[in-house]
Amino acid sequence: MIERSPINSPMGRLQGLWDRPGFRWPALAVVLILLVVAPYLFGPYATVILTNALLYVVLALGLNVVVGYAGLLDLGYAAFFAVGAYTIGIVHHVYGLDFWLTLPIAVLAAAVAGVIIGSPTLRLRSDYLAIVTLGFGEIVRFSARNLDITGGASGISGIERPWIFGWRMQSTLDFYYVFCVLAILAVIASLRLADSRLGRAWLYVRHDEDAAEAMGIDRVKVKLAAYVIGAIYGSIAGAFFAVNLGAISPESFSFQQSVLILMAVILGGMGKVPGVILGAFIVILAPELLRDVGELRLLVFAAGLLLVMLFRPEGIWPSRRR
């Protein structure tokens, strides 16, 4: 067994601080202030990158419900991201329904897709789910590329920006703050889910399916709940992604996209919210920070990831459990 309380590591010390109540609220205030002033500190280019990182925070937290909380391997998570984005693209842009009315439809579409894919496969072992989700991800992408309504390979462009209370989300700065709010909501929802009847049920099922069943927990229902909740996170992220860029195409929802999100979850530490946030920032910011390395930057990034997995297979963020 690996001893998992590395008090001496920098991350361990960080978590030790985090657990002190006197530290937590001031730390959160600092993070919040940093989020607000970051665009003014780092300039417009960094703002776009940070917006992307915040999008990945939402996506990774959504996948974390599936992979981290419920222990289900999902290799086609980008499909739900696509369902959200294309629902906005089609219903909001092509049919002209208001963005805020389309958003619930996007959520519903992802939830229905989640039930359709999940309910037959979640009865099987987790490996089968990985294969089915991988296939589902590709089916969604190929459908988007080949259907007329999705605009084929070139996708849908010119998607109108939404209004909220008479204010129009327009500039990159506007969208940066929109994604800040989304990421904060995603964090709160994730923390609250973890500390709830359903959150505990995921842990029970992950640790021992038979014992969980013997305690009266319907494992299929509980796993399906995780899968559908993950799908909803993905579709909301997709919806705002579509209006932010104003254009979507099938290539935004490829297998690599699914892998990148999964990487953020595993890198940071499955099931651990601060770890997953960190993971999302790393997968987006690291390639940017490595620009100086030139053409080799992706290679350096990949080597770094391998090293992390070799030395901290349970993720960068330390485990709270003793």
19 binds other proteins (CB under 8 A): no
> 57 with 280: CB under 8 angstroms?
yes
By CB under 8 A, residue 197 contacts other proteins: yes
Q: Is 223 in the site for other proteins (CB under 8 A)?
A: no
Closest by CA to 276, choosing from 316, 249, 309, 306, is: 316
Q: How far is the CB of 202 from other proteins (least distance, A)?
A: 11
Residues 128 and 124: their CA atoms lie apart, in Å, by 6
Among 173, 198, 245, 285, binds other proteins (CB under 8 A): 198
Where do the H-state alpha helices sit in the chain?
10-18, 21-64, 78-87, 99-121, 126-146, 172-194, 197-207, 209-214, 219-245, 255-268, 273-289, 297-311
Least separation in angstroms between CB 274 and other proteins: 18
Asked whether position 291 contacts other proteins by CB under 8 A, the answer is no
**Does 212 sit near other proteins (CB under 8 A)?**
yes
Count the site residues for other proteins by CB under 8 A: 28
Q: Is 210 in the site for other proteins (CB under 8 A)?
A: yes
Determine if 245 is a binding residue for other proteins (CB under 8 A): no
29 binds other proteins (CB under 8 A): no
Residue selected from 207, 299, 303, 306 as contacting other proteins according to rule CB under 8 A: 207
Per CB under 8 A, the list member of 60, 106, 224, 225 interacting with other proteins is: 225
184 binds other proteins (CB under 8 A): no
Q: Using alpha carbons, select from 244, 94, 113 the residue that is nearest to residue 155.
A: 94
Q: Which two tokens stand for residue 55?
A: 């999008």
Residues 6+ apart with CB under 8 A from 163: 99, 169
Distance CA 226, CA 115 (A): 11
User: What are the residues binding other proteins (CB under 8 A)?
Assistant: 188-189, 192-193, 196-201, 203-204, 207-208, 210-219, 225, 229, 321-322
